[in-house]
């Protein structure tokens, strides 16, 4: 059982000077096993000393104790976003604010603006957005991007890129160019390349492999990462899971930590490119100095550590490359610019190769996961997990599904039998549900982010945003406001006002657990954080209204007014 503790004024060696901080007259949601509510919290040093009634906790006060009268405001455990991409997010607006990219006209206006400062012949990259969020509800093609005839232009939709005519010409991509391994070149009705490249942007010439960080100095990257982590704290987050770190990211995190500028706790997921021959991938796993739960050098793992090992198993549902159980259908062909009526998306790693890679990581003690969004990819990852589990139980590793948007009762039952959790992004339902409902009409969306079905089977859920572009917590691509995620989980409302599968709504208690105790459990940290209990690290968030009693539609608007990390008030 996770998060077990007592709700009373239990003193844990505060020392002769008494406690350092008392929050009183509050509405303290402990998120302990009984979801009990207290009035006051005491903090000594880095840890919670007592939780209970006002008069009990105030007995611990000394002359040096800071006492804060909350005047009825609500205290939550420190909030955790289990899934962010902090460096790319921090760089996305580092040199200027991005306009809303919600239509072809907006995309073209952005390109024209960039033409003013970009030398001819150099790449212009349209920052990441998705056709499911465009007014036209379809993938742009080369003609949309041809407003810049003297610049190669790339529209970054993650696992799919769209490029203009000049980019195709510069890269030598013609109607005769064969598809690269695991990728696909889109064609129009006449058989000419239409600019859509599915998992095939490696064919492009003059485009650096990591477009998100190109052109930035080391100092730029460090400053951008530090600033984005600070914005996460402003949103009420006290810990994040950075879910695709590279050696460069790891080095930046180490620098920020050693400079004593790391503003919140970070659990890193090491993502490895699985496209090389399997022998090379396995050797890379075995030779790397990284290990789950650890960190190199004199670094406090309560602040910075490795969590999971990750590979990318399929593409994205917003761009038609998530590997599904059934074809995307007629509207999917319009939305994603597909020409193959039987397209189910793309599975990037063959089953035997996936098993060999995961087994090598398992043998080194890694927590295992993979980007697996479509139903077919979920089934493939569960096949691998079950094969590993038969050899040696992996429940204790807390290996998990990542995204797993298109579920099925059978897949959830398999996950439950192994006692494994899932890392989910509720806000995708809000943003992408209307378009996806047209792609999969009828019952095709019945088990899209099915939170209640997960809970009925006892599967723990960690909530995350997959934040990667934009600074604003509410308007970024994949907003990182944790209360938006909770609101979506509770209401299942979409941008068109409709409610998708209301039977899959979960309680406010469970929505809060997704961003506190269960997220901490995913990070192997539930004994130290995730609930307001004596003995745990003092990570707390005070919000302006009562999470449990405000109207449901106001949950997304809750605002942090105080953030405490490691016993220190870092925002107020």
Cβ–Cβ under 8 Å, residues 60 and 534: no
pLDDT tens column, 68-77: 999 999 999 9
| pLDDT value of position 7 | 40
| pLDDT value of position 17 | 52
Instruction: Report yes or no on whether pTM surpasses 0.85.
Output: yes
The distance between the two most distant Cα atoms of the chain, rounded to a whole number of Å, is 83
| Residue environment code for 525-551, b if the CB has 16+ CB neighbours within 10 A, otherwise e | bbebbbbbbbebbbbbbbbebebeebe
Report how far residue 520's alpha carbon sits from residue 529's, in angstroms, rounded to the nearest whole number: 6
- Please say whether the dihedral angle defined by the alpha carbons of residues 229, 521, 35 and 14, taken in this order, is positive or negative: negative
| pLDDT value of position 2 | 34
The pLDDT of 353-362, averaged and rounded, is: 98
Residues pairing with 306 in the sheet: 268
| pLDDT value of position 442 | 86
* pLDDT over 50 at 6, yes or no: no
| Side-chain half-sphere CA neighbours of 350 within 13 A | 7
- Between CA 541 and CA 552, with CA 547 as vertex, the angle to 5 degrees is 145
* pLDDT over 90 at 281, yes or no: yes
Q: What confidence category does residue 63 fall into, taking pLDDT thresholds of 50, 70 and 90?
A: very high
Candidate from 14-18, 21-25, 201-205, 302-306 with smallest mean pLDDT = 14-18
Cβ–Cβ under 8 Å, residues 404 and 424: yes
pLDDT tens column, 192-230: 999 999 989 889 998 865 555 567 999 999 999 999 999
| pLDDT value of position 295 | 86
| pLDDT value of position 213 | 58
Report how far residue 365's alpha carbon sits from residue 387's, in angstroms, rounded to the nearest whole number: 16
Domain positions in the chain are: 1-77+530-572, 219-313+348-529
pLDDT tens column, 401-445: 999 999 999 999 999 999 999 999 999 999 999 999 999 998 899
| pLDDT value of position 538 | 98
More confident residue, 11 or 54: 54
φ/ψ (deg, to 5) at 96: 155, 150
* pLDDT over 50 at 15, yes or no: no
As its CATH architecture, domain 1-77+530-572 has Roll (2.30)
pLDDT tens column, 81-122: 999 999 999 999 998 999 999 999 999 999 999 999 999 999
- Look up residue 4 and give its two tokens: 């077990």
- pLDDT above 70 covers a percentage of the chain that reads 96
Read out DSSP for 224-275?
Answer: HHHHHHHHHHHTTEEEEEEEEE-HHHHHHHHHHHHTT---SEEEEEEE----
- pLDDT above 90 covers a percentage of the chain that reads 89
| Residue environment code for 363-397, b if the CB has 16+ CB neighbours within 10 A, otherwise e | eeebbbbbbbbbbbbbbbbbebbeebbeeeebeeb
Report how far residue 467's alpha carbon sits from residue 89's, in angstroms, rounded to the nearest whole number: 7
Read out DSSP for 500-559?
Answer: S-GGG---HHHHHHHTTHHHHHHTT-TTTSSS--TTSB--EEEESS-TTTS-GGGGGG--
The pLDDT of 495-509, averaged and rounded, is: 97
pLDDT tens column, 427-439: 999 999 999 999 9
Candidate from 20-29, 159-168, 201-210, 368-377 with smallest mean pLDDT = 201-210
Exposed (0-12), middle (13-18) or buried (19+): which is 335, by Cβ within 10 Å? buried
| pLDDT value of position 8 | 41
| pLDDT value of position 211 | 54
pLDDT tens column, 472-501: 999 999 999 999 999 999 999 999 999 999
Q: Which CATH class is domain 219-313+348-529?
A: alpha beta
* pLDDT over 50 at 246, yes or no: yes
Residue count (the chain): 572
């Amino acid at each position: 059982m996770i998060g077990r503790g007592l709700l009373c004024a239990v003193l844990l060696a505060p020392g002769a000077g008494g406690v350092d901080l008392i929050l009183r007259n509050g509405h303290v949601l402990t998120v302990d096993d009984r979801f009990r509510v207290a009035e006051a919290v005491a903090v000594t040093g880095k840890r919670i000393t007592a939780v209970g009634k006002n008069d009990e906790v105030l007995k611990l006060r000394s002359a040096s104790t800071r006492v804060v009268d909350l005047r009825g405001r609500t205290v939550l455990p420190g909030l955790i976003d289990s899934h962010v991409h902090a460096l790319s997010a921090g760089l996305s607006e580092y040199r200027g604010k991005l306009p809303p990219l919600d239509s072809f006209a907006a995309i073209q206006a952005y390109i024209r603006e960039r033409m003013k400062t970009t030398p001819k012949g150099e790449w212009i990259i349209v920052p990441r957005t998705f056709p499911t969020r465009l007014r036209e509800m379809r993938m742009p093609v080369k003609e949309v991007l041809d407003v810049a005839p003297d610049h190669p232009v790339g529209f970054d939709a993650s696992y799919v890129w769209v490029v203009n005519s000049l980019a195709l010409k510069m890269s030598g991509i013609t109607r005769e160019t064969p598809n690269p391994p695991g990728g696909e070149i889109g064609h129009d009705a006449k058989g000419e390349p239409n600019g859509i490249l599915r998992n095939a942007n490696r064919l492009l010439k003059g485009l650096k492999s990591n477009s998100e960080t190109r052109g930035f100095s080391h100092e730029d990257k460090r400053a951008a990462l530090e600033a984005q982590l600070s914005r996460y704290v402003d949103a009420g987050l006290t810990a994040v899971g950075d879910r695709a770190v590279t050696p460069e990211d790891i080095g930046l995190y180490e620098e920020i930590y050693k400079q004593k500028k790391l503003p919140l706790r970070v659990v890193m997921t090491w993502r490895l490119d699985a496209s090389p021959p399997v022998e090379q991938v396995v050797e890379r796993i075995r030779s790397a100095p990284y290990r789950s739960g650890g960190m190199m050098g004199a670094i406090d793992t309560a602040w910075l550590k490795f969590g999971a090992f990750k590979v990318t198993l399929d593409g994205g549902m917003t761009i038609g490359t998530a590997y599904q159980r059934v074809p995307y259908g007629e509207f999917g062909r319009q939305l994603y610019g597909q020409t193959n009526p039987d397209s189910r998306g793309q599975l990037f790693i063959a089953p035997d190769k996936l098993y060999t890679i995961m087994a090598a990581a398992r043998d080194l003690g890694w927590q295992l996961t993979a980007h697996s969004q479509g139903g077919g990819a979920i089934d493939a990852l569960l096949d691998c997990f079950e094969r590993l589990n038969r050899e040696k139980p992996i429940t204790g590793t807390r290996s998990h599904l990542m995204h797993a948007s298109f579920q099925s009762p059978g897949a959830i039952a398999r996950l439950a039998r192994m006692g494994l959790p899932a890392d989910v992004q509720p806000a995708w339902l809000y943003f992408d549900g209307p378009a996806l409902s047209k792609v999969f009409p009828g019952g095709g969306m019945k088990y899209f982010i099915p939170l209640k079905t997960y809970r009925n089977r006892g599967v723990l859920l960690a909530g995350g945003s997959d934040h990667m572009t934009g600074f604003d917590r509410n308007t970024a691509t994949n907003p990182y406001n944790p209360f938006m995620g909770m609101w979506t989980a509770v209401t299942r409302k979409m941008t068109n006002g409709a409610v998708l599968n209301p039977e899959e709504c979960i309680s406010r208690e469970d929505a809060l657990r997704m961003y506190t105790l269960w997220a901490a459990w995913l990070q192997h940290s539930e004994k130290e954080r995730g609930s307001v209990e004596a003995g745990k690290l003092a990570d707390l968030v005070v919000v302006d209204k009562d999470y449990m009693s405000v109207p449901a539609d106001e949950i997304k608007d809750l605002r942090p007014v105080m953030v405490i990390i490691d016993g220190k008030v870092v925002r107020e």
